[in-house]
C-alpha cells in the first residue's frame, strides 16, 4: 500500500472516530436537556397544585375581603399565612412569599414564608418587573428562568385574583437543587462519556502513532541509507505507475570511482557519493525523481513540462556542478567527474525496462567516448553521423534494395579465449553507406508485417553464413515471436530447409512482456530443438527473464544481462547477483554467457566466477563477417 | 460636597447594573467605586469600613483606611450597629437602614438571591445629595411602613 493510500485510510478512521465522539457529545447533552425539561415540568406541575390549594385556603379565610389591605391590618392572619407558606419551603422551593404591587409599581412583601432571608412587611424587592407585570396583566401564572442569577433557578408566579383583579402574586423561587439533582442523575452518563472520550482519544493517538511508524518504516525502506535519496526498492514502486510521456531519463555514473575507493578508501568513497548527491540535488527541481541505482550509478527522472531539451539541460547542470565541486576527505581535495546517458524519448520504448536499458546504453557510450561527457540519442546520432530513426518507407526501401545485413560479434570460451560462436546482430546499410543499428528501425516496424519479413531475412542471412562456414551462430528472437504462428512458421520453415546445418544455430530468446502461453512455447521450442538447434535465454537477471523459464522450458544456455556485468567490478551487489546466477546455472548444468565485457578487470572477474563464455567490446566488436580480434 | 456624593452614588449604581458579575464581585466593586467616585477631587480619601475584605480590595494609593469613623469621609457599614459619627452611611444590609435611620443615605444588599438597592429620600436631602434621574425609582420616602 502506498503512503498516500495509507494516509487516506488513517484520515478516514480518524474522521469516523471524531464524528462518533461529536455525535456522542451532542447525544449526552440532548439527554441532559430533555431530563432538565421533564423534571422542571414535573416540579412545576406539582407545585402549581399546592399553590392552587393555598389560594383556595386564602379564599376560604378572607372570603370577599381585600387581600392586601386585610393582611396589612391583621398581624395574626399574616403569621397564619406565613406558616402556611413555610410548609412549602423546602430544599427545592427555596423561597415562598407573596408580593403586592404598590401605586408606584414597586413590588413589596405582604407575606413571606421563606425559612431564610425573610422580607419584612412592605419591604421592596427588586424583581424582574417585566415578567411580574405580565402576571398582573394576564391574570395567569408565569414561569421565569433566571439564568443570570447565581442562587436561583426558576421562579413560579401565581396571581391571587379577587373580583377580576390581581391583588398580589404568590412567588416560589426554585433553588439549584433541581439542576443539581439532574446533574447527579446524568453523572454516570457523563462519566461514561468521559471514558469513551478517553478511549477514543487513546485510539486516535494509537492510529496516529501507527501511521507515523508505518510512514517511518516505509520511508526508511525507500531511502538509501548512505545518500538519503530514493533506492531501487522505491524505484520499483515509482515505475509501477509512471507515465513515460512526462519524464526524460538520465543515468549517470561517477568516473573512476573504483580508483577513488582504492586510493583513499571506502570512507572517502562514501563522502564522494554523499557529495555528488548533494551537488545533484542543487540542480534538480521539485518534480524530478532521483534514485541511487547501483553502487556509484544514479538514475534521475527529469519531469518534462514545456522544454523538450530539459533532460540534456539538467544533465549539463549536473555535470558542471559536479565538475566544479571539491570533496574533502582527511585533507585530501578530491575532484570527480561523471558520465551521463540521457534518454529524451522514453515513451518511444516499449517498456520502462527498455527505456532504462536504452539510457544505460547511452551511458555506456558516454563512458566509451572517454567519460566526463553526456550522451543522448541525438548526440550519438550527430557524432556518428548516423541517420535518425528510419521511417517505414526508408526501411521498406532498404528491404527491397537488400540493404539488410548482419554483423557478428564473437563469443569466446572463457578458459582459452578461443571463439566458440558468433552472435548475429541485424543492421541496415543507409543510402550513404552508413551502418544503422536496430534501435533506429526495429521499434518502428515491430507491429508490422515488415517485422516478420525482417525475421525471415535475418534467419536466411544467418543460415547462409552457417552453410558457408559451418560455425555456430546465434540470432535474437523474442519469446513472442515463437508464440506468433506466422513468425514461428518462418523460423521453423528456415530450420527445416537447412536441417543439415541447423545444429549450428542458437536462438537467443528475450522477452519484454510476461509470458503466459508456456505450453505452446514449450511445444515449439521442443520442435526447434529436434533439429539440433540450441535455445538460449538472453538478458537473464532483468525484465521478465526469470527462474520460472528454466522450470517450464528446455533452455540450453543462459546469457546474463549486460547491465549486471558491466559494473561487476565496482558494485558488490552486481557481483553477488552474477555469482549467484552462475551458481544457479551450474546447478542446472546450463552454460553461461557473460556479455558486456568492456574491460580486462570485468573479464577476469567473470572468468573467476566460472562463466563459460564471454562476449563484449573488450574482446571483440561486432563486424561484418565471421571475424576474430587479436 | 454635593458633587462628590453624587459621583459616588452614580458609580455605585453603575456597578449594580452590571448583574453579570458575581455577587461577591459586585460587592467589592461597590466598595471601591463609592470611595473613588465620591472623592475624585481629593488626593487622599479617608474611608472607614467594618468589612475587612474592603480593605483588601481598596488598595489604591489614594485611599486611606482610617481606624475610626470620625476620621472618615464616608462609612461603608455591613454589620456594625453602634456607630455614632455623623457621617453619610451606605449600608449593606436592609436592617441597618433602620438602625441608622438618621444617617443612612441608602444601601445595597442581596435579598432572595437578587441584588437590591434603595435610597432614603430624607437622608439624601439631609446630606444634600441628588442622584441621576434613572435611579429615582429606587428612592423611598421612608423605610418605616
Buried b (16+ CB within 10 A) or exposed e, B39-76: beeeeebbbbbebeebeebbeeeebeeeeebeebbbbb
* Res B19: pLDDT: 39
Please answer yes or no on whether A150 and B23 come within 8 Å at the CB atom: yes
Half-sphere exposure in the Cβ direction for A572 (13 Å, CA): 2
Provide the β-strand partners of residue A292: A298
Does the structure's ipTM exceed the value 0.85? no
Please name the residues in contact with B90: beta carbons below 8 A apart, sequence gap of 6 or more.
B12, B34, B74, B75, B76, B77, B104, B105, B106, B107, B108
Query: Closest by alpha carbon to A475, among A445, A512, A441, A438?
Result: A438
Please answer yes or no on whether B116 and A173 come within 8 Å at the CB atom: no
Per-residue confidence band for B2, with pLDDT thresholds at 50, 70 and 90: very low
CA distances from residue A410 to A3, A115, A469, A576, A618 in whole angstroms, order as listed:
49, 120, 14, 26, 11
User: Out of A78-92, A499-513, B58-72, which region has the weakest mean confidence (pLDDT)?
Assistant: B58-72
- Interval A174-188: pLDDT, tens: 887 777 777 777 778
Percent of chain A with pLDDT strictly greater than 90: 44
Query: What residues of chain B lie within 8 A of the CB of A95, using their CB?
Result: 112-113
Q: A543 by DSSP, 3-state: which?
A: coil
CATH number assigned to the domain with residue range A35-180, chosen from the 4 options 3.40.50.300, 1.10.3720.10, 3.30.450.20, 1.20.200.10: 3.30.450.20
- Interval A327-369: pLDDT, tens: 988 888 899 999 999 998 888 777 888 889 889 989 988 988 8
* Res A31: pLDDT: 80
pLDDT of A4 > 70? The answer is: no
Please answer yes or no on whether A125 and B145 come within 8 Å at the CB atom: no
* Radius of gyration of chain B from its Cα atoms, rounded to whole angstroms: 14
User: Out of A222-226, A253-257, A378-382, A515-519, which region has the weakest mean confidence (pLDDT)?
Assistant: A378-382
Per-residue confidence band for A382, with pLDDT thresholds at 50, 70 and 90: low
Closest residue in A to B97 (Cα–Cα): A123
* Res A157: pLDDT: 95
* Res A419: pLDDT: 93
Query: What residues of chain A lie within 8 A of the CB of B94, using their CB?
Result: 120, 123
CATH of domain A232-382: 3.30.70.270
- Alpha-carbon gap: A135 to the closest alpha carbon of chain B (Å): 19
Please name the residues in contact with A27: beta carbons below 8 A apart, sequence gap of 6 or more.
none
Per-residue confidence band for B15, with pLDDT thresholds at 50, 70 and 90: very low
Structural domain span for residue B68: 2-129
pLDDT of A144 > 50? The answer is: yes
- Alpha-carbon gap: B85 to the closest alpha carbon of chain A (Å): 27
CA distances from residue A93 to A55, A86, A337 in whole angstroms, order as listed:
17, 10, 94
Helix locations, chain B, DSSP H: 2-17, 23-38, 52-57, 95-99, 121-126
Can you point out the beta strands (E) in A188-326?
Answer: 247-254, 289-292, 297-303
* Radius of gyration of chain A from its Cα atoms, rounded to whole angstroms: 48
Query: What residues of chain B lie within 8 A of the CB of A127, using their CB?
Result: 114
pLDDT of A467 > 60? The answer is: yes
Q: Clarify whether A296 is annotated catalytic.
A: yes
Please answer yes or no on whether A126 and B145 come within 8 Å at the CB atom: no
Query: What residues of chain B lie within 8 A of the CB of A104, using their CB?
Result: 137
Query: Closest by alpha carbon to A318, among A286, A353, A357, A279?
Result: A279
Listed by number, the residues of chain B in 63-102 with a beta carbon closer than 8 Å to a beta carbon of chain A are 94
Of A17-31, A528-542, B72-86, which has the strongest mean pLDDT? A528-542
Tell me how far apart the alpha carbons of residues A292 and A296 are, in angstroms, rounded to a whole number. Answer: 8
- Interval A560-594: pLDDT, tens: 988 888 888 878 888 888 999 999 999 999 999 99
B23 in contact with A, Cβ within 8 Å: yes
* Res A368: pLDDT: 84
Please answer yes or no on whether A127 and B114 come within 8 Å at the CB atom: yes
- Assess if residue B138 is contained within a domain: no
Confirm if A375 and A363 have CB atoms less than 8 A apart. yes
* Res A151: pLDDT: 66
For B113, the closest of A106, A122, A151 (CB atoms) is A151
CA distances from residue A560 to A535, A581, A611 in whole angstroms, order as listed:
14, 8, 10
Classify burial at A117, counting beta carbons within 10 Å of its beta carbon; exposed 0-12, middle 13-18, buried 19 or more.
Answer: middle
For A389-624, which CATH superfamily applies? EAL domain (3.20.20.450)
Per-residue confidence band for A479, with pLDDT thresholds at 50, 70 and 90: confident
Strand pairing category for A297-303 and A289-292: antiparallel
* Res A409: pLDDT: 93
User: Out of A21-35, A197-211, A291-305, which region has the weakest mean confidence (pLDDT)?
Assistant: A21-35
* Res B60: pLDDT: 67
Listed by number, the residues of chain A in 162-191 with a beta carbon closer than 8 Å to a beta carbon of chain B are 173
Query: What residues of chain B lie within 8 A of the CB of A106, using their CB?
Result: 137
* Res A199: pLDDT: 85
- What does the block give as the cell for A470? 559451418
- Alpha-carbon gap: B111 to the closest alpha carbon of chain A (Å): 7
Give all strands of the β-sheet with B104-111 in edge-to-edge order. Answer: B63-65, B45-49, B74-77, B89-91, B104-111, B114-120, B139-140
Please answer yes or no on whether A125 and B116 come within 8 Å at the CB atom: yes
Per-residue confidence band for A501, with pLDDT thresholds at 50, 70 and 90: very high
How many residues are listed for chain B in this entry? 145
* Res B54: pLDDT: 62
Query: Closest by alpha carbon to A100, among A85, A110, A113, A112?
Result: A110
Mutation site, B107, B113, B118, B139, interface A, largest A CB count within 10 A? B113
CA distances from residue A490 to A144, A251, A485, A487, A620 in whole angstroms, order as listed:
104, 39, 9, 5, 31
| Stretch A312-333: mean pLDDT | 90
- Assess if residue B103 is contained within a domain: yes
* Res A348: pLDDT: 77
* Res B89: pLDDT: 87
Report how many Cβ contacts below 8 Å link chain A to chain B.
49
A106 in contact with B, Cβ within 8 Å: yes
- Alpha-carbon gap: A7 to the closest alpha carbon of chain B (Å): 48
- Alpha-carbon gap: A93 to the closest alpha carbon of chain B (Å): 12
A122 in contact with B, Cβ within 8 Å: yes
Tell me how far apart the alpha carbons of residues A107 and A503 are, in angstroms, rounded to a whole number. Answer: 127
Confirm if A357 and A377 have CB atoms less than 8 A apart. no
Per-residue confidence band for B135, with pLDDT thresholds at 50, 70 and 90: low
Please answer yes or no on whether A123 and B113 come within 8 Å at the CB atom: no
Tell me how far apart the alpha carbons of residues A12 and A17 are, in angstroms, rounded to a whole number. Answer: 9
Report the mean per-residue pLDDT for chain A: 87
Tell me how far apart the alpha carbons of residues A446 and A49 are, in angstroms, rounded to a whole number. Answer: 101
* Res B118: pLDDT: 86
For B111, the closest of A117, A122, A150 (CB atoms) is A117
Three-state helix/strand/coil letters over A426-470: EEEECCCCCEECHHHCHHHHCCCHHHHHHHHHHHHHHHHHHHHHC
Please answer yes or no on whether B112 and A125 come within 8 Å at the CB atom: yes
Confirm if A257 and A269 have CB atoms less than 8 A apart. yes
User: What contacts 24+ positions apart, CB below 8 Å, involve A195-203?
Assistant: A196/A21, A196/A24, A197/A21, A197/A24, A197/A25, A200/A17, A200/A20, A200/A21, A203/A17
pLDDT of B1 > 50? The answer is: no
For A150, the closest of B22, B116, B117 (CB atoms) is B22
* Res A432: pLDDT: 81
Tell me how far apart the alpha carbons of residues B58 and B43 are, in angstroms, rounded to a whole number. Answer: 15
- Interval B17-49: pLDDT, tens: 443 455 556 555 555 555 555 555 667 778 788
- Assess if residue B142 is contained within a domain: no
Query: What residues of chain A lie within 8 A of the CB of B145, using their CB?
Result: 108, 121-123
pLDDT of A621 > 90? The answer is: no
Please name the residues in contact with A529: beta carbons below 8 A apart, sequence gap of 6 or more.
A535, A554, A556
- What does the block give as the cell for A535? 535455445
- Assess if residue B144 is contained within a domain: no
Of the candidates A120, A151, A237, A296, the residue annotated as catalytic is A296
Number of domains chain B is built from: 1
Pairwise pLDDT comparison (A502 vs B107), residue with the higher score: A502
* Res A167: pLDDT: 93
Half-sphere exposure in the Cβ direction for A72 (13 Å, CA): 14
- Assess if residue B82 is contained within a domain: yes
Tell me how far apart the alpha carbons of residues B92 and B88 are, in angstroms, rounded to a whole number. Answer: 13
A103 in contact with B, Cβ within 8 Å: no
- Interval B98-121: pLDDT, tens: 899 888 888 888 888 888 888 888
pLDDT of B76 > 60? The answer is: yes
* Res A611: pLDDT: 93
Percent of chain A with pLDDT strictly greater than 70: 95
Mutation site, B114, B121, B136, interface A, largest A CB count within 10 A? B114
Every domain of chain A and the residues it spans: 35-180, 232-382, 389-624
Please answer yes or no on whether B111 and A119 come within 8 Å at the CB atom: yes
Amino acid at each position: 500500500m502506498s503512503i498516500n493510500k495509507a494516509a487516506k485510510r488513517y484520515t478516514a478512521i480518524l474522521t469516523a472516530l471524531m464524528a462518533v465522539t461529536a455525535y456522542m457529545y451532542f447525544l449526552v447533552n440532548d439527554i441532559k436537556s430533555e431530563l432538565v425539561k421533564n423534571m422542571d415540568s414535573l416540579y412545576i406541575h406539582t407545585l402549581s397544585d399546592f399553590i392552587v390549594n393555598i389560594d383556595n385556603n386564602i379564599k376560604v379565610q378572607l372570603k370577599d375581603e381585600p387581600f392586601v389591605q386585610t393582611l396589612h391590618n391583621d398581624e395574626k392572619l399574616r403569621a397564619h399565612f406565613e406558616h402556611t407558606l413555610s410548609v412549602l419551603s423546602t430544599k427545592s422551593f427555596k423561597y415562598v412569599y407573596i408580593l403586592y404591587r404598590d401605586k408606584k409599581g414597586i413590588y413589596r412583601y405582604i407575606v413571606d414564608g421563606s425559612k431564610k432571608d425573610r422580607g419584612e412587611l412592605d419591604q421592596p424587592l427588586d424583581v424582574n418587573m417585566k415578567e411580574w407585570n405580565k402576571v398582573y396583566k394576564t391574570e395567569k401564572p408565569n414561569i421565569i428562568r433566571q439564568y443570570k442569577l447565581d442562587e436561583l433557578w426558576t421562579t413560579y408566579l401565581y396571581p391571587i385574583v379577587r373580583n377580576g383583579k390581581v391583588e398580589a402574586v404568590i412567588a416560589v423561587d426554585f433553588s439549584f437543587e433541581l439542576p443539581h439533582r439532574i446533574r447527579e442523575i446524568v453523572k454516570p452518563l457523563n462519566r461514561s462519556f468521559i471514558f469513551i472520550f478517553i478511549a477514543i482519544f487513546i485510539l486516535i493517538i494509537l492510529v496516529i502513532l501507527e501511521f507515523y511508524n508505518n510512514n517511518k518504516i516505509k520511508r526508511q525502506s525507500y531511502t538509501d541509507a548512505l545518500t538519503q535519496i530514493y533506492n531501487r526498492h522505491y524505484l520499483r514502486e515509482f515505475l509501477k505507475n509512471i507515465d513515460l510521456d512526462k519524464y526524460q531519463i538520465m543515468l549517470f555514473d561517477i568516473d573512476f570511482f573504483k580508483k577513488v575507493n582504492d586510493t583513499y578508501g571506502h570512507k572517502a568513497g562514501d563522502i564522494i557519493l554523499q557529495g555528488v548527491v548533494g551537488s545533484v540535488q542543487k540542480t534538480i527541481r521539485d518534480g524530478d525523481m532521483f534514485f541511487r541505482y547501483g553502487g556509484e550509478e544514479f538514475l534521475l527522472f527529469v519531469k518534462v513540462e514545456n522544454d523538450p531539451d530539459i533532460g540534456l539541460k539538467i544533465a549539463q547542470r549536473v555535470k558542471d556542478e559536479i565538475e566544479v565541486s571539491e570533496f574533502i576527505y582527511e585533507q585530501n581535495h578530491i575532484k570527480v567527474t561523471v558520465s551521463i546517458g540521457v534518454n529524451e524519448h522514453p515513451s518511444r520504448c516499449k517498456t520502462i525496462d527498455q527505456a532504462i536499458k536504452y539510457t544505460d546504453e547511452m551511458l555506456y557510450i558516454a563512458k566509451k567516448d572517454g567519460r566526463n561527457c553526456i550522451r543522448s540519442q541525438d548526440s550519438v546520432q550527430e557524432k556518428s553521423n548516423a541517420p535518425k530513426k528510419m521511417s517505414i518507407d526508408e526501411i521498406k526501401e532498404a528491404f527491397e534494395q537488400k540493404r539488410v545485413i548482419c554483423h557478428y560479434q564473437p563469443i569466446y570460451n572463457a578458459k582459452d579465449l578461443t571463439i566458440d560462436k558468433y552472435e548475429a546482430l541485424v543492421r541496415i546499410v543507409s543510402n550513404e553507406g552508413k551502418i544503422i543499428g536496430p534501435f533506429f528501425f526495429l521499434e518502428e516496424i515491430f507491429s508490422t508485417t515488415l517485422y516478420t519479413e525482417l525475421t525471415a531475412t535475418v534467419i536466411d542471412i544467418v543460415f547462409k553464413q552457417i552453410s558457408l562456414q559451418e560455425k555456430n551462430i546465434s540470432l535474437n528472437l523474442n519469446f513472442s515471436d515463437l508464440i506468433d504462428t506466422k513468425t514461428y512458421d518462418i523460423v521453423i520453415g528456415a530450420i527445416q530447409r537447412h536441417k543439415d546445418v541447423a545444429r549450428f544455430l542458437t536462438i537467443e530468446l528475450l522477452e519484454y512482456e510476461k509470458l503466459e502461453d508456456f505450453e505452446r512455447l514449450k511445444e515449439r521450442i521442443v520442435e526447434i530443438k529436434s533439429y539440433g538447434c540450441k535455445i538460449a535465454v538472453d538478458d537473464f537477471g532483468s525484465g521478465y527473464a526469470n527462474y520460472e523459464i528454466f522450470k517450464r522450458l528446455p533452455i540450453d544456455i543462459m546469457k546474463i544481462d549486460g547491465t549486471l556485468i558491466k559494473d561487476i567490478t565496482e558494485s558488490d551487489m552486481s557481483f553477488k547477483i552474477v555469482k549467484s546466477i552462475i551458481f544457479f546455472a551450474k546447478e542446472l548444468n546450463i552454460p553461461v554467457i557473460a556479455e558486456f565485457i568492456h574491460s580486462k578487470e570485468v573479464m577476469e572477474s567473470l572468468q573467476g566466477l566460472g562463466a563459460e563464455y564471454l562476449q563484449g567490446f573488450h574482446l571483440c566488436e561486432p563486424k561484418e563477417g565471421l571475424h576474430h580480434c587479436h | 460636597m454635593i458633587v462628590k456624593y453624587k459621583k459616588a452614588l452614580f458609580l455605585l449604581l453603575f456597578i449594580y447594573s452590571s448583574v453579570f458579575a458575581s455577587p461577591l464581585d459586585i460587592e467589592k466593586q461597590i466598595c471601591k467605586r463609592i470611595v473613588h467616585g465620591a472623592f475624585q477631587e481629593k488626593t487622599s480619601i479617608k474611608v472607614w469600613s467594618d468589612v475587612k475584605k474592603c480593605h483588601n480590595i481598596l488598595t489604591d494609593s489614594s485611599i486611606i483606611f482610617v481606624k475610626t469613623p470620625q476620621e472618615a469621609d464616608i462609612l461603608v457599614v455591613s454589620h456594625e450597629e453602634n456607630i455614632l459619627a455623623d457621617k453619610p452611611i451606605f449600608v449593606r444590609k436592609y436592617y441597618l437602614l433602620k438602625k441608622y435611620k438618621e444617617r443612612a443615605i441608602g444601601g445595597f444588599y442581596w435579598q432572595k438571591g437578587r441584588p437590591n438597592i434603595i435610597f432614603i429620600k430624607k437622608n439624601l436631602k439631609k446630606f444634600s445629595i441628588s442622584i441621576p434621574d434613572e435611579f429615582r425609582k429606587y428612592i423611598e420616602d421612608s423605610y418605616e411602613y
